[in-house]
Protein backbone atom coordinates (compact mmCIF):
# COMPACT_ATOMS: atom_id res chain seq x y z
CA UNK A 1 0.00 0.00 0.00
CA UNK A 2 0.97 3.63 -0.40
CA UNK A 3 -0.32 5.10 2.84
CA UNK A 4 -1.05 8.73 3.61
CA UNK A 5 -0.81 8.74 7.42
CA UNK A 6 -2.07 11.89 9.14
CA UNK A 7 -0.67 12.62 12.61
CA UNK A 8 2.34 10.40 11.96
CA UNK A 9 4.58 12.48 14.24
CA UNK A 10 2.38 11.75 17.26
CA UNK A 11 2.42 8.86 19.70
CA UNK A 12 0.29 6.27 17.88
CA UNK A 13 0.84 7.66 14.38
CA UNK A 14 4.61 7.27 14.68
CA UNK A 15 4.17 3.64 15.79
CA UNK A 16 1.94 3.07 12.75
CA UNK A 17 4.54 4.65 10.44
CA UNK A 18 7.34 2.50 11.89
CA UNK A 19 5.27 -0.69 11.56
CA UNK A 20 4.02 0.15 8.07
CA UNK A 21 7.54 0.74 6.78
CA UNK A 22 8.78 -2.44 8.44
CA UNK A 23 5.99 -4.25 6.57
CA UNK A 24 7.18 -2.78 3.24
CA UNK A 25 4.49 -0.13 2.70
CA UNK A 26 5.26 3.35 1.39
CA UNK A 27 4.30 6.07 3.86
CA UNK A 28 3.64 9.77 3.45
CA UNK A 29 3.46 11.26 6.93
CA UNK A 30 1.25 14.38 6.95
CA UNK A 31 1.54 16.26 10.23
CA UNK A 32 1.14 19.90 11.29
CA UNK A 33 3.74 19.43 14.05
CA UNK A 34 1.66 20.77 16.93
CA UNK A 35 2.94 20.80 20.52
CA UNK A 36 2.19 17.03 20.66
CA UNK A 37 4.37 16.06 17.70
CA UNK A 38 7.91 14.75 17.80
CA UNK A 39 9.73 13.89 14.59
CA UNK A 40 12.40 12.09 16.64
CA UNK A 41 9.83 9.31 17.07
CA UNK A 42 10.59 8.56 13.42
CA UNK A 43 14.39 8.58 13.61
CA UNK A 44 14.52 4.85 12.87
CA UNK A 45 12.69 5.25 9.53
CA UNK A 46 13.42 8.79 8.32
CA UNK A 47 16.21 7.64 5.99
CA UNK A 48 14.08 4.88 4.45
CA UNK A 49 13.25 5.32 0.74
CA UNK A 50 9.71 4.25 1.71
CA UNK A 51 9.23 7.31 3.98
CA UNK A 52 8.26 10.89 3.12
CA UNK A 53 7.16 13.78 5.33
CA UNK A 54 4.75 16.62 4.52
CA UNK A 55 4.31 19.38 7.08
CA UNK A 56 0.67 20.32 6.58
CA UNK A 57 -2.49 21.03 8.52
CA UNK A 58 -5.62 18.97 7.85
CA UNK A 59 -7.60 22.22 8.05
CA UNK A 60 -5.74 23.48 4.96
CA UNK A 61 -7.67 22.13 1.96
CA UNK A 62 -5.27 23.47 -0.65
CA UNK A 63 -2.39 21.70 1.03
CA UNK A 64 -4.42 18.48 1.23
CA UNK A 65 -5.34 18.67 -2.47
CA UNK A 66 -1.69 19.20 -3.41
CA UNK A 67 -0.53 16.28 -1.25
CA UNK A 68 -3.10 13.87 -2.71
CA UNK A 69 -2.11 14.86 -6.26
CA UNK A 70 1.63 14.75 -5.61
CA UNK A 71 1.78 11.44 -3.77
CA UNK A 72 -1.28 9.56 -5.08
CA UNK A 73 -1.81 7.32 -2.04
CA UNK A 74 -3.81 4.09 -2.24
CA UNK A 75 -5.09 4.52 1.32
CA UNK A 76 -5.41 7.11 4.09
CA UNK A 77 -4.92 6.37 7.78
CA UNK A 78 -6.30 9.34 9.67
CA UNK A 79 -4.82 9.80 13.14
CA UNK A 80 -4.19 13.57 13.28
CA UNK A 81 -6.16 15.00 16.19
CA UNK A 82 -6.04 17.03 19.32
CA UNK A 83 -5.95 14.15 21.79
CA UNK A 84 -5.62 15.30 25.41
CA UNK A 85 -8.92 15.30 27.34
CA UNK A 86 -7.70 17.80 29.97
CA UNK A 87 -6.70 20.31 27.26
CA UNK A 88 -10.13 19.85 25.65
CA UNK A 89 -11.78 20.99 28.88
CA UNK A 90 -9.73 24.22 29.02
CA UNK A 91 -9.72 25.02 25.29
CA UNK A 92 -12.31 23.04 23.30
CA UNK A 93 -12.13 25.18 20.14
CA UNK A 94 -8.95 23.57 18.84
CA UNK A 95 -10.60 20.16 19.23
CA UNK A 96 -13.59 21.19 17.13
CA UNK A 97 -11.32 22.82 14.53
CA UNK A 98 -8.97 19.90 14.02
CA UNK A 99 -11.02 16.85 14.95
CA UNK A 100 -14.30 17.89 13.33
CA UNK A 101 -13.56 20.53 10.66
CA UNK A 102 -10.16 19.07 9.84
CA UNK A 103 -11.64 15.60 9.39
CA UNK A 104 -14.38 17.05 7.16
CA UNK A 105 -11.75 18.76 4.98
CA UNK A 106 -9.70 15.58 4.76
CA UNK A 107 -12.79 13.59 3.79
CA UNK A 108 -13.66 16.12 1.09
CA UNK A 109 -10.18 16.11 -0.41
CA UNK A 110 -9.89 12.30 -0.15
CA UNK A 111 -13.26 11.99 -1.90
CA UNK A 112 -12.32 14.46 -4.65
CA UNK A 113 -9.05 12.60 -5.27
CA UNK A 114 -10.80 9.18 -5.20
CA UNK A 115 -13.39 10.40 -7.72
CA UNK A 116 -10.71 11.82 -10.01
CA UNK A 117 -9.05 8.39 -9.91
CA UNK A 118 -12.29 6.75 -11.11
CA UNK A 119 -13.54 5.65 -7.66
CA UNK A 120 -11.16 2.65 -7.24
CA UNK A 121 -12.79 -0.02 -5.06
CA UNK A 122 -9.52 -0.87 -3.33
CA UNK A 123 -9.01 2.70 -1.99
CA UNK A 124 -9.40 2.96 1.79
CA UNK A 125 -10.00 5.81 4.22
CA UNK A 126 -9.29 4.45 7.71
CA UNK A 127 -10.50 6.69 10.50
CA UNK A 128 -8.76 6.04 13.83
CA UNK A 129 -10.96 6.82 16.81
CA UNK A 130 -11.39 6.15 20.47
CA UNK A 131 -13.62 4.11 22.79
CA UNK A 132 -14.33 7.39 24.63
CA UNK A 133 -17.11 8.10 22.09
CA UNK A 134 -19.23 5.46 23.90
CA UNK A 135 -19.24 7.35 27.22
CA UNK A 136 -18.93 5.63 30.57
CA UNK A 137 -19.74 2.05 31.64
CA UNK A 138 -20.98 0.85 35.01
CA UNK A 139 -19.24 -1.96 36.86
CA UNK A 140 -20.35 -4.55 34.28
CA UNK A 141 -20.47 -4.77 30.50
CA UNK A 142 -18.24 -3.99 27.54
CA UNK A 143 -18.35 -1.56 24.61
CA UNK A 144 -19.26 -3.33 21.36
CA UNK A 145 -19.46 -1.79 17.90
CA UNK A 146 -23.24 -1.50 18.49
CA UNK A 147 -22.96 0.52 21.72
CA UNK A 148 -24.74 3.89 21.28
CA UNK A 149 -22.53 6.95 21.24
CA UNK A 150 -22.62 9.04 24.44
CA UNK A 151 -19.47 11.18 24.60
CA UNK A 152 -18.91 13.21 27.77
CA UNK A 153 -15.85 15.40 27.15
CA UNK A 154 -15.18 17.98 24.44
CA UNK A 155 -12.46 15.62 23.17
CA UNK A 156 -14.71 12.56 22.93
CA UNK A 157 -17.58 14.63 21.49
CA UNK A 158 -15.28 15.95 18.75
CA UNK A 159 -14.09 12.42 17.96
CA UNK A 160 -17.70 11.16 17.93
CA UNK A 161 -18.58 13.92 15.46
CA UNK A 162 -15.68 12.91 13.23
CA UNK A 163 -16.76 9.25 13.34
CA UNK A 164 -20.22 10.29 12.15
CA UNK A 165 -18.76 12.32 9.29
CA UNK A 166 -16.73 9.34 8.11
CA UNK A 167 -19.77 7.07 8.28
CA UNK A 168 -21.81 9.62 6.29
CA UNK A 169 -19.13 10.01 3.58
CA UNK A 170 -19.42 6.26 3.05
CA UNK A 171 -23.22 6.15 3.07
CA UNK A 172 -23.69 9.25 0.93
CA UNK A 173 -20.72 9.28 -1.45
CA UNK A 174 -19.64 5.63 -1.33
CA UNK A 175 -16.12 6.50 -0.09
CA UNK A 176 -14.58 3.14 0.97
CA UNK A 177 -14.04 3.74 4.68
CA UNK A 178 -13.18 1.59 7.69
CA UNK A 179 -13.29 2.81 11.29
CA UNK A 180 -11.72 1.67 14.52
CA UNK A 181 -12.37 2.67 18.12
CA UNK A 182 -9.55 1.86 20.50
CA UNK A 183 -9.03 1.88 24.24
CA UNK A 184 -6.23 3.74 26.07
CA UNK A 185 -2.80 3.20 24.57
CA UNK A 186 0.56 3.30 26.33
CA UNK A 187 4.18 2.54 25.46
CA UNK A 188 7.39 4.18 24.20
CA UNK A 189 7.17 7.75 22.84
CA UNK A 190 4.01 8.53 24.86
CA UNK A 191 3.85 12.32 25.28
CA UNK A 192 4.74 13.31 28.86
CA UNK A 193 1.36 14.87 29.69
CA UNK A 194 -0.54 11.55 29.63
CA UNK A 195 -1.14 9.43 32.74
CA UNK A 196 1.48 6.68 32.41
CA UNK A 197 4.42 8.95 31.49
CA UNK A 198 3.34 11.43 34.17
CA UNK A 199 3.50 8.66 36.76
CA UNK A 200 6.90 7.43 35.60
CA UNK A 201 8.46 10.90 35.27
CA UNK A 202 7.09 12.28 38.54
CA UNK A 203 8.28 9.16 40.35
CA UNK A 204 11.75 9.55 38.81
CA UNK A 205 11.87 13.18 39.92
CA UNK A 206 10.65 12.34 43.45
CA UNK A 207 7.60 14.57 42.85
CA UNK A 208 4.01 13.75 43.95
CA UNK A 209 2.29 11.27 41.60
CA UNK A 210 -1.17 12.78 40.96
CA UNK A 211 -4.13 10.37 40.92
CA UNK A 212 -7.46 11.94 39.93
CA UNK A 213 -10.43 11.51 42.34
CA UNK A 214 -10.43 8.21 44.24
CA UNK A 215 -8.30 6.44 41.62
CA UNK A 216 -11.17 4.06 40.89
CA UNK A 217 -11.60 4.99 37.21
CA UNK A 218 -11.08 1.92 35.03
CA UNK A 219 -9.39 1.88 31.64
CA UNK A 220 -8.62 -0.99 29.25
CA UNK A 221 -4.92 -0.58 28.39
CA UNK A 222 -3.38 -1.53 25.04
CA UNK A 223 0.33 -1.49 24.20
CA UNK A 224 0.82 0.96 21.33
CA UNK A 225 2.74 -1.51 19.15
CA UNK A 226 -0.24 -3.89 19.35
CA UNK A 227 -2.54 -1.04 18.30
CA UNK A 228 -0.32 -0.27 15.29
CA UNK A 229 -0.55 -3.93 14.22
CA UNK A 230 -4.32 -3.87 14.69
CA UNK A 231 -4.64 -0.76 12.50
CA UNK A 232 -2.59 -2.31 9.69
CA UNK A 233 -4.76 -5.44 9.93
CA UNK A 234 -7.94 -3.36 9.72
CA UNK A 235 -6.84 -1.24 6.77
CA UNK A 236 -5.57 -4.33 4.97
CA UNK A 237 -8.44 -6.74 5.62
CA UNK A 238 -11.33 -4.81 7.17
CA UNK A 239 -14.70 -4.78 5.48
CA UNK A 240 -15.64 -1.48 3.86
CA UNK A 241 -18.14 0.51 5.92
CA UNK A 242 -17.46 -1.55 9.05
CA UNK A 243 -16.06 -0.41 12.38
CA UNK A 244 -13.84 -2.43 14.69
CA UNK A 245 -13.28 -2.07 18.42
CA UNK A 246 -9.66 -2.49 19.53
CA UNK A 247 -8.73 -3.26 23.13
CA UNK A 248 -6.12 -4.90 25.28
CA UNK A 249 -8.26 -7.19 27.48
CA UNK A 250 -6.40 -5.44 30.28
CA UNK A 251 -8.74 -3.51 32.52
CA UNK A 252 -7.16 -1.75 35.48
CA UNK A 253 -8.21 0.87 37.99
CA UNK A 254 -5.97 3.92 37.74
CA UNK A 255 -4.74 3.44 41.30
CA UNK A 256 -3.81 -0.21 40.62
CA UNK A 257 -2.03 0.80 37.41
CA UNK A 258 -0.05 3.47 39.28
CA UNK A 259 0.91 0.92 41.95
CA UNK A 260 2.09 -1.53 39.27
CA UNK A 261 4.36 1.17 37.82
CA UNK A 262 5.68 2.02 41.30
CA UNK A 263 6.54 -1.64 41.94
CA UNK A 264 8.45 -1.86 38.62
CA UNK A 265 10.37 1.30 39.55
CA UNK A 266 11.10 -0.11 43.02
CA UNK A 267 12.73 -3.12 41.36
CA UNK A 268 14.72 -1.07 38.84
CA UNK A 269 15.66 1.75 41.24
CA UNK A 270 15.64 0.19 44.72
CA UNK A 271 17.41 3.19 46.21
CA UNK A 272 14.30 5.34 45.72
CA UNK A 273 11.74 2.72 46.91
CA UNK A 274 8.95 2.74 47.87
CA UNK A 275 7.72 4.99 45.04
CA UNK A 276 4.12 4.43 46.24
CA UNK A 277 4.76 6.97 48.99
CA UNK A 278 4.59 9.66 46.28
CA UNK A 279 0.96 8.85 45.34
CA UNK A 280 -1.25 11.90 45.96
CA UNK A 281 -4.99 12.01 45.32
CA UNK A 282 -6.01 15.25 43.57
CA UNK A 283 -9.28 16.91 42.51
CA UNK A 284 -11.02 14.84 39.87
CA UNK A 285 -11.47 15.84 36.22
CA UNK A 286 -15.00 17.21 35.60
CA UNK A 287 -17.09 14.72 33.62
CA UNK A 288 -14.49 11.99 34.27
CA UNK A 289 -15.81 8.74 32.75
CA UNK A 290 -15.78 5.95 35.32
CA UNK A 291 -15.09 2.87 33.27
CA UNK A 292 -14.15 1.94 29.71
CA UNK A 293 -13.85 -1.69 28.59
CA UNK A 294 -13.72 -3.07 25.08
CA UNK A 295 -15.19 -6.16 23.49
CA UNK A 296 -12.71 -6.70 20.64
CA UNK A 297 -14.18 -10.04 19.53
CA UNK A 298 -15.17 -8.76 16.05
CA UNK A 299 -11.55 -7.92 15.28
CA UNK A 300 -10.40 -11.28 16.69
CA UNK A 301 -13.05 -13.43 15.02
CA UNK A 302 -13.22 -11.72 11.63
CA UNK A 303 -9.65 -10.51 11.09
CA UNK A 304 -7.63 -12.69 13.49
CA UNK A 305 -6.04 -9.89 15.51
CA UNK A 306 -5.31 -10.24 19.22
CA UNK A 307 -3.08 -8.20 21.53
CA UNK A 308 0.28 -9.85 22.05
CA UNK A 309 1.71 -7.84 24.97
CA UNK A 310 0.24 -8.22 28.47
CA UNK A 311 -0.17 -5.14 30.67
CA UNK A 312 2.62 -6.36 32.97
CA UNK A 313 5.07 -6.90 30.08
CA UNK A 314 4.09 -3.66 28.37
CA UNK A 315 4.52 -1.57 31.53
CA UNK A 316 7.89 -3.18 32.19
CA UNK A 317 9.05 -2.30 28.65
CA UNK A 318 7.62 1.21 28.91
CA UNK A 319 9.27 2.05 32.22
CA UNK A 320 12.60 0.70 30.92
CA UNK A 321 12.21 2.82 27.76
CA UNK A 322 11.68 6.03 29.76
CA UNK A 323 14.73 5.25 31.90
CA UNK A 324 16.82 4.80 28.74
CA UNK A 325 15.46 7.80 26.80
CA UNK A 326 15.83 10.75 29.11
CA UNK A 327 16.81 13.32 26.42
CA UNK A 328 13.62 12.50 24.47
CA UNK A 329 11.23 13.33 27.31
CA UNK A 330 13.28 16.09 28.89
CA UNK A 331 13.03 18.11 25.67
CA UNK A 332 9.24 17.68 25.59
CA UNK A 333 8.75 18.68 29.21
CA UNK A 334 9.62 22.27 28.25
CA UNK A 335 6.61 22.58 25.92
CA UNK A 336 3.65 24.76 26.93
CA UNK A 337 1.36 23.27 29.56
CA UNK A 338 3.33 20.05 30.06
CA UNK A 339 3.57 19.31 33.77
CA UNK A 340 0.77 21.76 34.67
CA UNK A 341 -2.54 20.61 36.08
CA UNK A 342 -4.99 21.22 33.25
CA UNK A 343 -8.70 20.56 32.81
CA UNK A 344 -10.13 21.56 36.17
CA UNK A 345 -13.02 23.25 34.34
N1 LIG B 1 -3.77 7.91 22.85
C2 LIG B 1 -4.76 7.03 22.99
O3 LIG B 1 -4.81 6.32 24.00
C4 LIG B 1 -5.80 6.87 21.89
C5 LIG B 1 -6.72 5.83 21.99
C6 LIG B 1 -7.63 5.65 20.96
C7 LIG B 1 -7.62 6.47 19.86
N8 LIG B 1 -6.74 7.50 19.79
C9 LIG B 1 -6.75 8.35 18.58
O10 LIG B 1 -5.56 8.06 17.86
C11 LIG B 1 -5.10 9.23 17.20
C12 LIG B 1 -3.66 9.52 17.59
O13 LIG B 1 -3.59 9.69 19.00
P14 LIG B 1 -2.20 10.03 19.70
O15 LIG B 1 -2.34 9.68 21.12
O16 LIG B 1 -1.09 9.47 18.90
O17 LIG B 1 -2.20 11.63 19.55
P18 LIG B 1 -0.99 12.65 19.67
O19 LIG B 1 -1.58 13.86 20.31
O20 LIG B 1 0.20 11.99 20.26
O21 LIG B 1 -0.63 12.97 18.15
C22 LIG B 1 -1.46 13.72 17.31
C23 LIG B 1 -0.65 14.15 16.09
O24 LIG B 1 -1.55 14.85 15.21
C25 LIG B 1 -0.92 16.02 14.76
N26 LIG B 1 -1.95 17.04 14.50
C27 LIG B 1 -2.76 17.65 15.41
N28 LIG B 1 -3.54 18.56 14.80
C29 LIG B 1 -3.24 18.49 13.48
C30 LIG B 1 -3.73 19.18 12.35
N31 LIG B 1 -4.68 20.13 12.45
N32 LIG B 1 -3.23 18.85 11.13
C33 LIG B 1 -2.26 17.90 11.00
N34 LIG B 1 -1.74 17.24 12.07
C35 LIG B 1 -2.24 17.53 13.29
C36 LIG B 1 0.00 16.45 15.90
O37 LIG B 1 1.04 17.29 15.43
C38 LIG B 1 0.49 15.10 16.41
O39 LIG B 1 1.66 14.70 15.75
C40 LIG B 1 -6.07 10.35 17.57
O41 LIG B 1 -6.99 10.48 16.51
C42 LIG B 1 -6.75 9.85 18.83
O43 LIG B 1 -8.04 10.36 18.94
C44 LIG B 1 -5.82 7.72 20.78
Cβ of residue 153 lying under 6 Å from some atom of ligand 1: no
Atom of ligand 1 nearest to the CA of 84: 19
Atom of ligand 1 nearest to the CA of 56: 33
- Annotated catalytic sites, by residue? 131-132, 155
> Exposure pattern of 306-326 as b/e (b: 16+ CB <10 Å)?
ebebebeebbbbbbebbeeee
φ, ψ at 262 (rounded to 5°): -60, -40
**Separation of CA 34 and ligand 1 centre (Å):** 10
Residue 337 has pLDDT above 90, yes or no: no
Cβ of residue 79 lying under 6 Å from some atom of ligand 1: yes
pTM above 0.95, yes or no: yes
pLDDT of residue 341: 84
**Separation of CA 35 and ligand 1 centre (Å):** 11
Mean pLDDT of the 335-341 span: 86
The tens digit of pLDDT for each residue in 33-82 reads: 999 999 999 999 999 999 999 999 999 999 999 999 999 999 999 999 99
pLDDT of residue 68: 98
pLDDT of residue 344: 86
Measured by CA distance, the residue closest to atom 32 of ligand 1 is 57
Amino acid sequence: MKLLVTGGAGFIGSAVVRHAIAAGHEVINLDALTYAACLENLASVEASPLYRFEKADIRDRDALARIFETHRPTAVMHLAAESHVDRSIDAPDAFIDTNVTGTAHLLQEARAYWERQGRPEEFRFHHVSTDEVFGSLGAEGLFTEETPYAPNSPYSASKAASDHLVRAWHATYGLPVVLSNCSNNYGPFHFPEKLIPVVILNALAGRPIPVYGDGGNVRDWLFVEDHAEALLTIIGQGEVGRSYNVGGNAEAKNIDLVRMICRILDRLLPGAAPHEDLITFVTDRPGHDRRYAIDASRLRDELGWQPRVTLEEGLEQTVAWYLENRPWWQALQDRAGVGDRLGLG
